[in-house]
């Protein structure tokens, strides 16, 4: 910033200013934590010197609170990927298992909705396709908040459920699969050029509950990017214009990630596995019968409290995978 020609390029200057602001925030946060540690040490020493049990106990509570914030800060410092700080776009799709898999997809959607709520993020539903009998075939939503993509990228993959089927009169055990794909939502300064002639735009009536709620206008939008075959669809908004805007947001995010994959070969591998949402490809298994256990196969982490996890407590898995990747 001290360079004489720094302000000659306003766009570059804007990027540098944003980076400086982010770095300053990290330094200020570290300084605040360091100061809290010093204050905690002083309180503890004073409590020991004066044999003041109340001060010693207060220092213990302070230490626990500091450790929790420090752990969270340490993880954020590891989320240093190009897109990690961005919002996330998440797609969940039912795989092998029919109605069972569609019900499992709905359970996963609730689980991630609760996680988003726990993190203080904002969820915006982009598209939802209901199953014929129960559950949902697929759902796409955005999670808005700092490092949403950095956290949620650890959830990409196939999720396997084993339980007694609620749809089987004989009460047989059933295995279902659903896939989770995670993309970064683009920052405004990132430009993805999309030629209109490369798009096929279809409109159709959004699905509804029938009766007076039947949608009489073609407000739902499906956009296909012909060169890549990538499809984005939205039917949650009443306005066709708004649905188209949401579709373009999803399409831009996926095209951006596809471009990166040409160099990193990561996203292409994700797309290549879309047809194999079944045995042998799962990253995590959720076993509800004959015992209860959720296991992440990438880090061999097992948690027996399945209700807590399905209610959105995913941080042990997410943090474990992210820390494992850095190690």
What CA–CA distance (Å, rounded) separates 143 from 159? 19
| Per-residue pLDDT at 193 | 77
What CA–CA distance (Å, rounded) separates 30 from 293? 37
> By mean pLDDT, which of 158-167, 217-226, 251-260, 296-305 is the weakest?
251-260
Both tokens assigned to 79? 């989320």
| Per-residue pLDDT at 210 | 46
pLDDT digits (tens, 9 = 90+) for 59-83: 999 999 999 899 888 888 888 888 8
Both tokens assigned to 130? 């209901």
pLDDT over 50 at 89, yes or no: yes
Is pTM beyond 0.85 here? no
Residue 214 — very low, low, confident or very high, per pLDDT cuts 50/70/90? very low
CB 91 within 8 A of CB 181: yes
C-alpha torsion sign, points 247, 228, 137, 110: negative
| Per-residue pLDDT at 270 | 44
pLDDT digits (tens, 9 = 90+) for 235-288: 888 888 999 999 998 998 888 877 777 655 644 554 554 545 555 578 999 999
pLDDT digits (tens, 9 = 90+) for 155-179: 999 999 999 988 877 778 889 999 9
C-alpha torsion sign, points 42, 67, 69, 80: positive
| Per-residue pLDDT at 187 | 60
What CA–CA distance (Å, rounded) separates 142 from 185? 8
pLDDT over 60 at 212, yes or no: no
Nearest 5°: phi and psi at 20? Answer: -60, -40
User: In this predicted model, which residue has the larger pLDDT, 133 or 89?
Assistant: 89
What CA–CA distance (Å, rounded) separates 157 from 285? 11
Residue 40 — very low, low, confident or very high, per pLDDT cuts 50/70/90? very high
C-alpha torsion sign, points 259, 264, 266, 271: positive
| Per-residue pLDDT at 287 | 96
- Which range is most confident: 199-213, 222-236, 290-304? 290-304
Count of alpha carbons within 13 Å of 315, Cβ hemisphere only?
A: 12
| Per-residue pLDDT at 123 | 97
Residue 233 — very low, low, confident or very high, per pLDDT cuts 50/70/90? very high
User: In this predicted model, which residue has the larger pLDDT, 90 or 13?
Assistant: 90
| Per-residue pLDDT at 218 | 78
104 Cβ partners below 8 Å, 6+ apart?
94, 97, 135, 159, 161, 176, 177, 178
- Name the average pLDDT for the chain: 86
| Per-residue pLDDT at 272 | 57
| Per-residue pLDDT at 267 | 42
| Per-residue pLDDT at 211 | 44
In eight-state DSSP terms, residue 214 is -
pLDDT over 50 at 213, yes or no: no
| Per-residue pLDDT at 279 | 55
């Amino acid at each position: 910033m001290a360079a004489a020609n720094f302000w000659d390029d306003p766009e570059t200057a804007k990027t540098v200013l944003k980076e400086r602001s982010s770095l300053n925030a990290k330094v200020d946060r570290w300084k605040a934590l360091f100061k809290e540690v010093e204050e905690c040490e002083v309180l503890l020493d004073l409590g020991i010197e004066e044999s003041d049990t109340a001060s010693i106990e207060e220092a213990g509570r302070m230490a626990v609170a500091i450790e929790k914030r420090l752990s969270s800060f340490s993880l954020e410092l590891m989320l240093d990927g190009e897109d990690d700080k961005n919002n996330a776009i998440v797609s969940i799709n039912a795989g092998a298992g029919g109605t069972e898999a569609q019900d499992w997809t709905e359970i996963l959607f609730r689980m991630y909705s609760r996680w988003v709520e726990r993190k203080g993020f904002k969820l915006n539903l982009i598209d939802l396709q209901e199953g014929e009998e129960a559950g949902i075939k697929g759902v796409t939503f955005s999670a808005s908040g700092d490092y949403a993509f950095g956290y949620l990228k650890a959830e990409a993959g196939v999720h396997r459920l084993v339980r007694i089927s609620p749809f089987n009169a004989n009460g047989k055990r059933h295995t279902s699969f659903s896939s989770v794909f995670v993309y970064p939502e683009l920052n405004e300064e990132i430009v993805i050029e999309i030629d209109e002639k490369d798009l096929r735009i279809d409109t159709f009536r959004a699905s509804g509950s029938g009766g007076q709620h039947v949608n009489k206008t073609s407000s739902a939008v499906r956009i296909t990017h012909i060169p890549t075959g990538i499809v984005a669809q939205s039917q949650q908004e009443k306005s066709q214009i708004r649905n188209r805007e949401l579709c373009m947001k999803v399409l831009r995010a996926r095209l951006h990630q596809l471009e990166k994959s040409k160099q990193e070969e990561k996203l292409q591998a994700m797309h290549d596995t879309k047809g194999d949402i079944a045995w042998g490809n799962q990253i995590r298994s959720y076993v509800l019968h004959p015992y209860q256990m959720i296991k992440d196969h990438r880090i061999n982490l097992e948690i027996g409290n399945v209700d807590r996890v399905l209610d959105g407590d995913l941080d042990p898995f997410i943090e474990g995978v992210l820390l494992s990747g850095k190690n």
